[in-house]
Amino acid sequence: MTGDISILLGGTGMFLLGMQLMTGALADLASRQTRAVLRRVTTSPLTGAVAGAATTALIQSSSATLVMTIGFVGAGLLSFPQAMGVVFGANVGTTVTGWMVVLLGFKLDLARLALPLLFVAGLLSVMGRGAWGRAGSLLAGFSLIFLGLDMMQTGAAGFHDVMLSVAPTADTLWGRFRLLLLGVAVTVVIQSSSAGVAATLVLLGSGAIGLPQAAAMVIGMDIGTTFKSVLATLGGSRDMRRTAMAHVAYNVVTGLAAFAVVTTAVPALSRVMGGDGPAALVAFHTLFNLMGVVLILPFTDSFARLIERLVPGSGAALGDPPDRRLLADA
């Protein structure tokens, strides 16, 4: 059992490192273009949502997208209302990682392919310069993600009893809520909802948890990812705090709405997916985020006014002094 947990933890760490390398390389390779496009197309909530989803899918990190957006708001490059659409869309973009894991990591023996890719990545990183070096980091991150996923699948085999000790009543409403809180805690600790979702998919595939339980954890991870947005606004401007509050409020509301329909929606999706639990989980994650965007977009102005009442302040939308500190973190 101890060995299984060690393998699972080591695999999770490798997955996290791979995500960090891949996200950093993608952000470096596309940073200027991404920032320019993000500023240019956020002219309405709809275009902002599309931009937020596309940016997050491209750089594989909703946290990076949202910290970038908060930085733009603090620097006066975006107003708070303009940033709302990006907040909505980022959650949709982050579901791409789950599909990547399900369609590639669980269907193909990518761990065997990842080893020679890692060798090529090492050569590029050591010998390459500029874009070639960043391409090496990107390839290394991609390889480590699937090597880590393979280790996680191996280690999850003996994790069943541990999960039962964490949530012994997981088949009840209270048990699922405890798993939701566990999902929040995991994401706050590891600072990556994508890695958390991947770990949940592995536990689901191994039989350590059931599909409704996994759905509850994924909902909690969506809520937990708001922690970094709040952290990024410490000492920031009023509109930066409003952007972070919008992220928190939106994720909590959509998460609780999704939690309310887990009992009916998840079994239905499982039937549609032919009993493929991991695919049904990722479909649920994608659908509740997509439906949240569709339902909230017509009421963006009302939602923005609510956030403005929760985080009061006077003056024009761009009246706060520019705060450019976070642009370097984007």
How far is Cα 301 from Cα 85, in angstroms, rounded to an integer? 11
The answer to whether position 184 is within a domain reads: yes
How far is Cα 181 from Cα 164, in angstroms, rounded to an integer? 15
Number of domains in the chain: 1
Question: What would the two tokens of residue 328 be?
Answer: 């370097």
The answer to whether position 138 is within a domain reads: no
The answer to whether position 111 is within a domain reads: no
pLDDT at 328: 43
* DSSP codes of every residue in 266-311: HHHHHHHTTT-HHHHHHHHHHHHHHHHHHHHGGGHHHHHHHHHHHS
The answer to whether position 114 is within a domain reads: no
How far is Cα 44 from Cα 46, in angstroms, rounded to an integer? 5
The answer to whether position 83 is within a domain reads: yes
pLDDT at 217: 92
pTM beyond 0.75: the answer is no
How far is Cα 325 from Cα 323, in angstroms, rounded to an integer? 6
Which range of residues forms the domain containing residue 255? 44-102+159-329
The answer to whether position 90 is within a domain reads: yes
Neighbouring CB atoms inside 10 A of 322's CB total 11
pLDDT (tens place) for every residue of the chain, 330 residues total? 555 678 777 887 887 788 678 767 766 665 556 566 666 667 778 888 888 888 888 766 777 778 778 877 876 777 788 888 888 898 888 888 788 878 876 655 556 777 888 888 888 888 877 778 888 887 888 788 778 777 776 766 555 455 545 554 456 788 889 889 988 988 887 767 777 888 888 888 877 788 999 999 999 999 988 887 787 677 778 888 899 899 999 999 999 999 999 989 999 999 999 888 899 999 999 999 999 999 999 999 899 899 989 888 654 443 344 444 444 443
Taking alpha carbons only, the member of 57, 9, 17, 11 closest to residue 137 is 17
Q: Which residues, in sequence order, are CB contacts of 108 under 8 Å at separation 6+?
A: none
Cα of 327 vs its chain's centroid, Å: 20
The answer to whether position 274 is within a domain reads: yes
pLDDT at 330: 39
Per the listing, tokens 């302040």 go with 313
How far is Cα 127 from Cα 324, in angstroms, rounded to an integer? 34
Contact 45, 182 (CB under 8 A): no
pLDDT at 315: 42
How far is Cα 137 from Cα 140, in angstroms, rounded to an integer? 5
pLDDT at 135: 83
The answer to whether position 70 is within a domain reads: yes
